[in-house]
Structure 1
Amino acid sequence: MSAKRWLAAGGAAVLAGFLGVALLLQNSGSACAAPPSTSTKSGKATFYDLASTSGNCSFEVPADDLYVALGPEQYAAGASCGAYLDVTGPKGKVRVKVFDSCPECAAGHLDLSRTAFKKIGNEVDGIIAIKYRLVTNPSVPAPISVRIKEGASQYWFAARIDNHANLLSSVKVAGPGRSLTPAHRTDFNYWIIDSGAGSGPFKIKITDVYGNSTTVSGVDMKPGTVQKTGARMTGGSSTVVAPAKKPVVKKSSPATTKKATPASPSASAPVLESATSAPAAPAAPALTEDQPPVDLAAAEPTC
């Protein structure tokens, strides 16, 4: 596959119904999303090496290095960012976070991190048949965090939400003395209010596609800083949680461009992980020309 990567903000095609997200209505920045399908689908996987500090979703690299890039249809202009997929290959199963986009990938073609690929297949193969499914209410490594984007001010609000577990349907923000205002999501996974939301601190209501919601308060206007909270999304919570007193400062800003190394190993490439190092799993289907990868289908909208 091509080694080229590009930021979705640069012009990825925005199509409806990907990864079960089906952005059916866009109104003042709030999306009406159908509950996603969690049925198992067939496809293929390749791998790549991230040549930057961040993928198109603007997240920091997961500590376990287990992530996936999706093609334009399934990336859905950033709507799939932060979701988790269980991917099964010839050697076992791995859970990966939607972290990046792969412009050249068709639906059902998952471009995994090298670490994730080696857990389910032999690196020397380069491409393997897989089965994959969207995970509902997955465990996340930490509570929700909020990162205000560089350049944000009282006149232009932009925030990235992380560790929300499920796909998000809406983010609303209220500054001091203001009511909640819907933010619109960008394809680089920031939620923006073009007219601003004041100088902060902010109250942010986050809702996922299953109706789970939580509200975090005390989010300061600190561009470039990851502000940790004690809030979690799953379980239908509706709490107000202030960020931790000592937010983690990330000096590096989200990448605007990145390139990946080719994912086509030579025939002499070593097999770096044996089949016994991953949990046993049913064999993945063989790739055939008459069995194209199948996308995750969207359910009928209920909103």
Structure 2
Amino acid sequence: MAKLFAISLLTTLLAWGPAQVAAQGIRGTATFTGNDHNGGSCSLSNYTLPAGISGTGIGPSNWAQAGKCGSCIQVTGPRGTTKVMIVDSCPSCLENRLNLFDDAFRQIADPVDGIVDVTFDIASCGLDTPLIIRNKIGTSRYFFSMQVLNCNFPIVDLEVSTDNSQTWESTVRQEYNYFEREDKSGFGKDEVMLRVSCSNGRRVIIPSVTMDSEKEITAPVNC
């Protein structure tokens, strides 16, 4: 089957939360932590952060059930601006608090300050490589569980077709950043077609996605 992709406008943009986003972004605060993203809540183990992009955790007010995982934000503090990828949650963080990796914090503030005022907002990760689909361990025709990696913008939906795009079924994003069927079952097929919708209004169709456990599939394009 030839590789296909489609791009279309969505009717809504990704929202961070009620009345939080202004033209200049979200006003909040930032502190810092270590630089290991592998054990984070976004389940990005064995994924290499893009060159020039560090990581951050976000608090409950912006977590949105892992809805921002793998996407990037531009953060501006008293010293400067940096781009980071959301790799973890921060359950103890106050509203609009970022828990930046320490190398990112040094780009925007002096570490001796500990906690600083910042503004932040969604920004393209600027990747020129395609989306990556990763199957969770145990994925099969009886259990569907996949995540989307390497995205330029937040992923808002992952749909599955078993009839060559005639019909589509949405999946549910789990707190550990995998999309699964609502009843935790599979689609009864060894191969399906995926449609990934991104917050910038683009959709990417990925044909011939196999249900092999822990398999990675490269999409035709990025968002």
TM-score normalised by L of structure 2: 0.80
Q: Indicate the residue corresponding to 1:53 in structure 2.
A: 38
1:123 pairs with one of 111, 127, 141: 111
Following the alignment from structure 2 to structure 1, what is the Cα–Cα distance between the partners of residues 199 and 22? 11
Residue 49 of structure 1 deviates from its aligned partner by: 1.2
1:105-134 CA-partner distances (Å, limit 9, x unpaired): 122211001121121222233222222222
Aligned partner of 2:147: which letter? R
In the alignment, the residues of structure 1 paired with residue 73 and residue 219 of structure 2 have an alpha-carbon distance, to the nearest angstrom, of: 24
Match of 2:6 in 1: none
CA contact (8 A) 1:47 1:114 kept: yes
Alignment size in residue pairs: 202
Q: 1:141: Cα distance to partner?
A: 5.4
1:163 aligns with: 150
1:141-182 superposed Cα distances (whole Å, 9 cap, x missing partner): 521000000122211100001123222222111246784221
- Choose 1 or 2 for highest CA Rg: 1
Local SS of the residue matching 1:77: coil
2:212 to 222, 244, 260: 222
Q: CA deviation at 1:71?
A: 0.6
The alignment-based identity, stated in percent, is 25
Counterpart residue number, 1:282: none
Query: Superposition RMSD on alpha carbons, in Å?
Result: 2.4
Question: CA distance change for structure 1 residues 115 and 56 in 2, over 3 Å: closer, same or farther?
Answer: same
Q: Which runs of 5+ in 2 are unaligned?
A: 1-13
CA offsets per residue over residues 230-271 of structure 1, 9 Å max, x none? 3121xxxxxxxxxxxxxxxxxxxxxxxxxxxxxxxxxxxxxx
Letter in 2 for 1:130: V
Q: Tell me how far apart the structure 2 counterparts of residues 122 and 141 of structure 1 sit (CA, whole Å).
A: 32
CA drift at 1:57: 1.1
Change (3 A) 1:43 1:168: same
Closer, same or farther in 2 for the Cα pair 1:51/1:98, shift >3 Å? closer
Partner of 1:291 in structure 2? none
Residue 172 of structure 2 corresponds to 184
Q: 1:97 aligns with which of 80, 85, 91?
A: 85
Deviations 1:190-223 (A, max 9, x none): 1101221234322100112343111011222232
1:1-303 correspondence to structure 2 within 5 Å: 20-21=15-16, 39-50=24-35, 53-59=38-44, 60-64=47-51, 66-135=54-123, 137-140=124-127, 142-175=129-162, 179-193=167-181, 194-233=184-223
Any conservation in 2 of the 1:175–1:200 contact (CA below 8 Å)?
no
Distance across 2 between alignment mates of 1:170 and 1:52: 23
Cα pair 1:176 1:201 within 8 Å, conserved: no
Structure 1 gaps, min length 5: 1-18, 24-35, 234-303
The amino acid of 2:193's aligned partner reads: K
CA distance in 2 between partners of 1:63 and 1:87 (Å): 17
Secondary structure of 1:106's counterpart equals: coil
The answer (yes or no) to whether the contact 1:41–1:131 under 8 Å persists in 2 is yes
